[in-house]
Amino acid sequence: MKPDKARESLRSNREAAFQGKMLTTIVRDAPMELDMDRCRFWNYSRRDVADLFRELEFSSGILARVPDPVAAAPAQPDPSPDLPEEPPQPAQCTRELIETDYHQVDSREKLDNMLKELSSAGSFSFDTETTSTDPMLADLVGLSFSTTPGRAWYVPVGHRDGAQIPIEEVLAGLKPLFESPQIGKTAHNGNYDVTVISNYGITPVNMDFDTMVAAHLIGRKALGLKNLALDTLNIEMTNISELIGTGKSQITMDRVSIENARVYACSDADMTGRLRTILEDDLHREGFWDLYSRMEIPLVPVLVTMQRHGIALDAGALHGMSRDLNEQLKQLEAQIYDLIGHVLNINSPQQLSNLLFNELGLPKTKRTKTGYSTDANSLESLKGMHPVVDKILDYRQLVKLKSTYVDALPQMINPRTGRLHTSYNQTGSATGRISSSDPNLQNIPIRTELGRQVRKAFVAEGSPDWVLLSADYSQIELRVLAHLSRDSALVDAFLKGEDIHSATGSLMYDVPFNEVNADMRRIAKVLNFGVIYGLSPYGISQQTEFSPDEGQKFIETYFSKYPGIRQYIDSIKEQVRRDGYVVTPLGRRRYISEINASNYNMRQAAERAAVNMPIQGGAADIMKLAMIRVHQSMEDAGLRARMLLQVHDELVFEVPSEEMDGLKELVHREMSHALDQYDGLNVPLVVDMKTGHTWGDME
């Protein structure tokens, strides 16, 4: 056998090779009996299918595609007498046989009756039907309400056809209820519904329960209302696609008949109310109620306010940057063609794969359907092996920046407000971090000149009379690590107010603090953050000039200087193997089932996640508490300043010049004392502040 390496590998793994051959050979003489009559299609119980899907954690969207065997089966001859006949099943066979009282509110009398019942109930669940998934562009089509299981109302206000009460009358009647602090409100993904309603001049208060936020905190995987109803209530709800269709034929909700919308919308409000009862009990039983009621629910109106504020964008600056990037891309293309001697489509993975691995003979990466991989990680591993690789990486970076931000952001300016509005999601991360989307403002590069140029397009509207203020937690994740590990050297450095990377460099290189140079500090910084994210010796070698062996020695030296960190990491790994989850200092929990996986790589990834979660999640919890405190204090002070953005450890404000000094003091106080209602950290929280007329020109 050729090559020799393969032959030797087979010899040394003879037993495993034959075992593998046996396992991959199809057994053709397995003892089994085939009964063709029992294999007839349509002969199944849809409820059994639903139960299996729930057990396997399939989504409700998949179940919706399973046809009802009674309604959809073609005519069949008389069944075999050996087969038991199943009783006919309803089309929605997982729906509980419950009576529903779903009302259509299309007259003033009906509206008054509903308002009286909502007011006297003391609490209600609600949902909105709109024309868009973007809450800042959505028009109201209808609102649904529920007070008790099975009883709900649908108020159409924006359908193209059908009897409806003028939207002004409906909102005027609902405003006192939504703005009453004595009446509790429940929603599923209330961030969306509250944003929509707020755009109509109503500011909901006492939003005391959000079923999606509760499900996320408890650790549910499927957070959609339909999935939660199926998993929790054993009720299959109608999918929105059944009303508005999909793809090119999809319509907006205002084109759906009021009767069809009534059942769908009332069900949404009804199931939201039912889920609250169960999830509220779960929160108390699992010990999450404090975190939920003091952090997650108060955060919803804060995020809504920030989303509605948006931020001003200098589209002209980005258009100019786009033209400059076009020229740079043309130059890079020419340089790449000169290096390889011919023209190719740089954006084609297949052509790029052929160039790198066939023409240039570079080491092959992982195989894909079309050849060998040319993704970012693969090309990074080839850096330095040929000049064209670095050029291709530069080209890709410019293309991504141009398409994702420079060209895309101006098109996302809201035509109604003239500003850019991101959406914040507090259920999008397992660690509890707030994520940003449409657009994602948290991924704009900050350490590159091009990234800073993009940030310069985010401006203070009304400049120079208005200015942007940035408030950034200093090394918050390392401070959380110091708190969790209680490592004396790390804690002491923070208590002294030392630069933590220089302090680590002093320990690592055994030199006085004031003799740590830039290179020493850079290596120390890689190690400090590497600990949080599970950096390996190979990972260190990728970020430094060291070999993997040297990287391993540096890791060993690091842990010898910070033994408390090593003990913390070992204890977390032991705990997650025992309990199957880890927690942040404030009690947020993340389940990590892969910790006991048979696959080594999966176990390693699970260990890294377990070590990182309490640190990153702890920092996220602190930021959420800070946002709530800052928002409340700004409202109490009646400031015109606006909190606009949250990006990891940073908050960005738009401030009139005369309020700047007062806001700085307020923000510093509230962020520094974010944990006052809890026990706090064993190291201080430090806040760095910068101001500027653009986000990229902060000083």
Domains, the chain, ordered by start: 4-46+54-72 (no CATH), 101-309 (3.30.420.10), 315-418 (1.20.1060.10), 435-476+620-692 (3.30.70.370), 480-613 (1.10.150.20)
Mean pLDDT, rounded, for 348-364 = 88
The rounded distance, in Å, linking the Cα atoms of 391 and 375 is 14
Q: Which is more confidently placed, 11 or 89? A: 11
The rounded distance, in Å, linking the Cα atoms of 350 and 332 is 20
Q: Which of 294, 680, 659, 644 is nearest to 471 (CA)?
A: 644
The rounded distance, in Å, linking the Cα atoms of 175 and 169 is 10
Q: Which of 385, 85, 126, 454 is nearest to 265 (CA)?
A: 126
pLDDT at 113: 97
pLDDT score of 477 more than 60? yes
Residues 6+ apart with CB under 8 A from 498: 513
pLDDT tens per residue across span 285-338:
999 999 999 999 999 999 999 999 999 999 999 999 999 999 999 999 999 999
Mean pLDDT, rounded, for 215-221 = 92
The β-bridge partners of 385 are none
Supply 238's token pair.
Answer: 């109608």
Q: How confident is the model at residue 221 (pLDDT cuts 50, 70, 90)?
A: confident
Q: How confident is the model at residue 382 (pLDDT cuts 50, 70, 90)?
A: confident
pLDDT at 73: 54
Of 82-86, 215-219, 399-403, the least confident: 82-86
Q: Which is more confidently placed, 499 or 56? A: 499
Q: How confident is the model at residue 60 (pLDDT cuts 50, 70, 90)?
A: low
Supply 233's token pair.
Answer: 């209530």
The rounded distance, in Å, linking the Cα atoms of 177 and 145 is 12
Supply 276's token pair.
Answer: 């609250």
Q: CA gyration radius for the chain?
A: 30
Q: Which of 167, 125, 132, 175 is nearest to 147 (CA)?
A: 125
- DSSP state for residue 58 in the 8-state scheme: -
pLDDT at 674: 95
Three-class DSSP category at 252: coil
* Beta strand pairing call for 466-473 and 650-656: antiparallel
Q: How confident is the model at residue 98 (pLDDT cuts 50, 70, 90)?
A: low
Handedness of CA 634, 211, 59, 66 (dihedral sign): negative
Handedness of CA 379, 384, 385, 391 (dihedral sign): positive
Q: Which is more confidently placed, 599 or 114? A: 114
pLDDT at 699: 81
**Cα angle 361-366-370, degrees, rounded to a multiple of 5:** 80
- What rounded mean pLDDT belongs to the chain? 90
CA atoms within 13 A on the CB side of 366: 6
* Phi (first) and psi of residue 463, to 5 degrees: -60, 140
Q: What percent of the chain has pLDDT over 90?
A: 65
pLDDT at 305: 97
Mean pLDDT, rounded, for 62-86 = 57
pLDDT tens per residue across span 647-670:
989 999 999 999 999 999 999 999
Please state whether the peptide bond connecting residue 3 to the residue before it is cis, i.e. omega within 30 degrees of 0: yes
Handedness of CA 284, 286, 291, 292 (dihedral sign): negative
Handedness of CA 487, 488, 491, 493 (dihedral sign): negative
The rounded distance, in Å, linking the Cα atoms of 150 and 384 is 66
pLDDT at 94: 42
